[in-house]
Amino acid sequence: MSKAEGRKKMSKETRRTLVAYSFIAPNFIGFAVFTLIPVVFAFILAFTQWDGSNPIQWVGLGNFIKLFQDTFFLSALKNTIIYCIGTVPLTMIASLALAIVLNQKVRCRGLFRTISFFPYVASLVAVTAVWKMLFSKTGPVNAILYYVFHVPNNELPQWFVGGLVMVSYILFSVWKYMGYYMVIYLAGLQGISGEMYEAASLDGANTWQKFRSITWPQLRPTTFFVVVMLTINCFKVFDIATLLAGGDNNTLTPSSTVLVHYIYQQAFVNWEFGYSSAVAMVLFVLVLIVTIIQFRGEARFSNS
């Protein structure tokens, strides 16, 4: 009897693992074949020289040595980091605030929700054209600066060249993706039980206290997701840069270039997959660091 029980226990352990794997398998097999293998391959490419057709040549760390002497790469790296530092917190705050407001009983909230999703789904040509119109030299933003803040005519800023181009990217990105992350937060907010708020109200908590002690901690997993996705997407910024500053042959100057644009250039203009993979590795390491920090924070939170 006890022997059989022991066997049963053993098989229970294995069965648990098997069950867990069976849940993952349908997705993982497709994921591994179609995405993971090419990605692993791209990792290896970073140490090679390859144009997509000719035999692959091993170059060891050659690409990385070249990388840190490449002034264009360094400015792309710097710009991308600045962009991320500006965009991640701003988008997170804006989308969370919007989600909280649109989670209240507000009239026409379905309509408001749909509208705030527009910049994300609308045609990129339209979105860019509108944004460029708003910030053009004679556009409404500069008009406000001129009439309200009395900035003299010849000092009105140029939003898409030189120093201000990063500011344009950041504002554009917040505006475009706010609705997207709002949707994620909205779904996250549904997971919070109303009873918790009722209990807090009975204890006399005000809105801010309720946010601090209920909403924010309960949204932890959602925030983790939002921050990681935001960071990754910010590091991968490409469209925004080429559309706002690229012109019709996608040319970015040292002050407006970003990492993925450089990766694209190396891969599809120069056909140097080795070097473009090396650039991607730098991006990858940056994202990984941010993610692991977040991951640790999340683990600590769920353990406590």
Q: Which is nearer to another protein, 61 or 118 (CB)?
A: 118
Return the number of the residue (3 or 69) whose C-beta is nearest another protein. Answer: 69
Please, which residue, 3 or 75, has the CB nearer to another protein? Answer: 75
CB of 121 to another protein, least distance (A): 5
The answer to whether 99 and 189 have CB atoms below 8 angstroms apart is yes
Q: What is the C-alpha separation between 169 and 76, in angstroms, rounded?
A: 14
Tokens at residue 106, please?
């507000």
**CB nearer another protein, residue 3 or residue 249:** 249
Give least dist CB 61 to another protein, A: 18
Paired sense of beta strands 48-49 and 57-58, if any: antiparallel
- Supply the minimum distance, in Å, between the C-beta of residue 196 and another protein: 9
Q: Which is nearer to another protein, 89 or 140 (CB)?
A: 140
d(CA 88, CA 83): 8
Cβ at position 303, least distance to another protein in Å: 12
Of 287, 133, 128, 256, nearest in space to 295 by CA:
287
Return d(Cα 276, Cα 266) in angstroms, integer.
Answer: 5
**Smallest distance from the beta carbon of 105 to another protein, in angstroms?**
10
Distance CA 215, CA 219 (A): 6
- H/E element, 149: none
Q: C-beta of 64: minimal distance to another protein in Å? A: 15
Question: In angstroms, rounded to a whole number, what is the distance separating the alpha carbons of residues 284 and 127?
Answer: 29
Judged by beta carbon, residue 58 or residue 295, the one nearer another protein is 295
Q: Smallest distance from the beta carbon of 273 to another protein, in angstroms?
A: 6
Nearer to another protein, 86 or 116 (CB): 116
Smallest gap from Cβ 211 to another protein, in A, equals 15
Burial class of residue 291, CB neighbours in 10 A (0-12, 13-18, 19+): middle
Instruction: Report the candidate in 263, 266, 256 with the shortest Cα–Cα distance to residue 79.
Output: 256
- Is the distance from CB of 168 to CB of 159 less than 8 angstroms? yes
Give the residue with the Cβ less far from another protein, 3 or 163.
Answer: 163
Radius of gyration of the chain (CA): 25
Containing 58, the helix (H) or strand (E) segment is strand 57-58
**Contact (CB, 8 A) for 304 and 89:** no
